[in-house]
Amino acid sequence: MRLRVFLCAIALSFVGLAGAAEPDVSTLTLPCIACHGMDGAASLPGSANLGGQNQRYLLRQLELIKSGARTVPLMTGQLNHLGREQLAQLAAHFAALPLATGQAEEATLAQGESIYRAGIAAKGVAACIACHAPSGGGNSPAGYPHISGQPVDYVVAQLTAYREGERTTDDDYGGMMRDVAANLNDGEIKAVANYLRGLH
């Protein structure tokens, strides 16, 4: 917890710099590095990999976080001084970085793959592959995110937040993520997250 607070303090110390006239993208990314790494690979537990992420998705999430529609405590206030052009610069920067990859654990791999590729018909859970593609690469024109290689703890947190109605950023898509997650139990969520970690 102390490390998280310390890194957040470092990030916030750069906010004033990012608010300077016409900051370049390297200055804009300084507050991001503490949690998301210089290369876009999460460096703090609970954070997302941003490298190689769908640019349209990234921009939309930044806008939602800035507006308060998506709550990310460590990012509270960090985007308030940025205009849409600067948010777009951030999105383009991270989208251009390499994708992070990971290694799945064998124990729940088969279960996670089954849910990802076929869903759970008996529970009304749609297959993730329908929107996020066989490789987990998402759908850039539609704004569906690239989800392969993401840290397990991050995916678990997001799917749980959708299930509990704490994250509602799928309003643009008719609440489809909440509909899917609503019928997933904790074990199934963890299995999908584990499978995604090694998918690439």
Listed by start position, the domains of the chain span 2-95, 109-198
For residue 69, what are its two tokens? 């529609």
For residue 99, what are its two tokens? 């994708």
Residue 125 neighbours by CB distance under 10 Å: 19
**Confidence (pLDDT) at 24:** 85
Q: For the domain 2-95, what is the CATH superfamily, name and number? A: Cytochrome c-like domain (1.10.760.10)
Query: Is 109-198 in the same CATH topology as 2-95?
Result: yes
Q: Are 167 and 158 in contact (CB under 8 A)?
A: yes
pTM above 0.75, yes or no: yes
Q: What is the dihedral of CA 36, 37, 42, 46, to 10 degrees?
A: -50
- The label of the residue with tokens 């300077």 reads 20
Find the farthest-apart pair of alpha carbons in the chain and give their distance in angstroms, rounded: 56
Alpha-carbon gap, residue 67 to 63, rounded angstroms: 6
- CATH code at 109-198: 1.10.760.10
Residue 197 neighbours by CB distance under 10 Å: 25
Strand partners, 144: 139
Distance of CA 35 to the CA centre of its chain: 12
DSSP single-letter state for residue 24: -
Distance of CA 73 to the CA centre of its chain: 14
Alpha-carbon gap, residue 185 to 122, rounded angstroms: 13
Mean pLDDT by 10 residues, the chain (200 residues): 46 44 81 94 96 96 96 92 96 96 95 98 97 96 96 98 96 94 98 96
Question: Three-state SS across 28-94?
Answer: HCHHHHHHHCCCCCCCCCCCCCCCCCCHHHHHHHHHHHHHCCCCCHHHCCCCCCCCHHHHHHHHHHH
**Confidence (pLDDT) at 110:** 98
